[in-house]
Amino acid sequence: MARVTHVTRTSESLSPQLHDYLVAHSAPVDPVLADLAEETARLYPDLTTMQIGPEQGTFMTLLARIAGARDVVEVGTFTGYSATCMARGIPDDGTLLALDISEEWTAIARRYWERAGVAHKIDLRIGPALETLRTLPEGPRFDLAFIDADKEGYTGYWEELVPRMRPGGVLLVDNTLSHGRVVDPAEDSAQVQGIRDFNDRAAADERVELVLLPVGDGLTLARKRA
Ligand SMILES: C[S@@+](CC[C@H](N)C(=O)[O-])C[C@H]1O[C@@H](n2cnc3c(N)ncnc32)[C@H](O)[C@@H]1O
């Protein structure tokens, strides 16, 4: 891999103070999302890192609007934070297909989608996401996709989703830096290897233009070529 960072600027690594500052100088997190984050942390204190952060949520709402997205798919919904953010960025007659295997976690999501006034846009399907994706008609139908489920499955989700994206459609993929473990030679877990395999595949995929951003735990942003 070519090493370019010795001559070009690197991204900031965020201290907790800098992160608080950044959140304070972004659009305020509304009470529904704040309550959802708080309830998730109370019920599942060990799982809080599953949920995207507030600045990433705001970014995803804005991105959905900027992209003019109408039809969205999410792989990995958990308690519904990211789905709420994207659903807010699409028009009232837009659709968000949300895929997850957990009835328990998505029951919480459903409550917050009602409170946020976005429940009518969201079609939640419970089951292994790869199987659900394979049942969808082939051909372009989505404007925006977000992958945030089991890391070993990322490449499979990508291969099902890219052909189903409209030209110019946007794909977002979460955790693509894996808390820095992607560059740790001693790290050989299936999850991290899944992310590495995905990153290699996506970076070489000529169907998309792509950038891996240091947002949250690494957020890959790709645009399907027209
Ligand atoms: C990191 S969490 C998603 C967080 C969510 N995007 C948010 O912002 O709150 C990952 C989710 O993927 C789901 N998941 C794991 N394996 C899956 C599979 N094979 N098919 C569908 N969902 C799966 C888990 O149940 C979990 O809710």
Domain range summary for the chain, segments of one domain joined by +: 67-224
- pLDDT by residue (tens digit) across 113-150? 999 999 999 999 999 999 999 999 999 999 999 999 99
Q: What's the predicted TM-score (pTM) here?
A: 0.96
- Both structure tokens of 59: 């970014």
Inter-residue contact 225 to 205 (CB < 8 Å) = no
Superfamily of chain region 67-224: Vaccinia Virus protein VP39 (3.40.50.150)
Residues lining ligand 1, CB < 6 A? 50-52, 76-79, 81-82, 99-102, 105, 128-129, 148-150, 153
Q: What share of the chain in percent tops pLDDT 70?
A: 97
The whole-angstrom distance between residue 54's C-alpha and the CA centroid of its chain comes to: 13
Which residue, among 181, 165, 184, has the nearest Cα to 225 in the 3D structure?
A: 165
Can you give the pLDDT at residue 95?
A: 98
Under the banding of pLDDT at 50, 70 and 90, the label for residue 189 is very high
Can you give the pLDDT at residue 223?
A: 98
Under the banding of pLDDT at 50, 70 and 90, the label for residue 18 is very high
The alpha carbon of 18 and the centre of ligand 1 are apart by a number of angstroms equal to 28
Can you give the pLDDT at residue 5?
A: 58
Cα dist from 157 to 20, 54, 163, whole Å: 33, 25, 11
The whole-angstrom distance between residue 157's C-alpha and the CA centroid of its chain comes to: 12
**Probe residue for ligand 1, chosen from 39, 100, 112, 147 as the CB with the greatest number of ligand atoms within 8 Å:** 100
Determine the 3-state secondary structure of 204 from DSSP: coil
Determine the 3-state secondary structure of 167 from DSSP: strand
Can you give the pLDDT at residue 29?
A: 84
The answer to whether residue 2 scores a pLDDT higher than 60 is no
Which residue, among 95, 99, 84, 96, has the nearest Cα to 36 in the 3D structure?
A: 84
Report the pLDDT averaged over residues 95-111. 98
Q: Is the pLDDT higher at 11 or at 99?
A: 99
The alpha carbon of 195 and the centre of ligand 1 are apart by a number of angstroms equal to 15
Q: CB atoms < 10 A from the CB of 163, how many?
A: 12
The answer to whether residue 225 scores a pLDDT higher than 70 is yes
Cα dist from 42 to 46, 47, 48, 124, 159, whole Å: 9, 10, 9, 24, 36
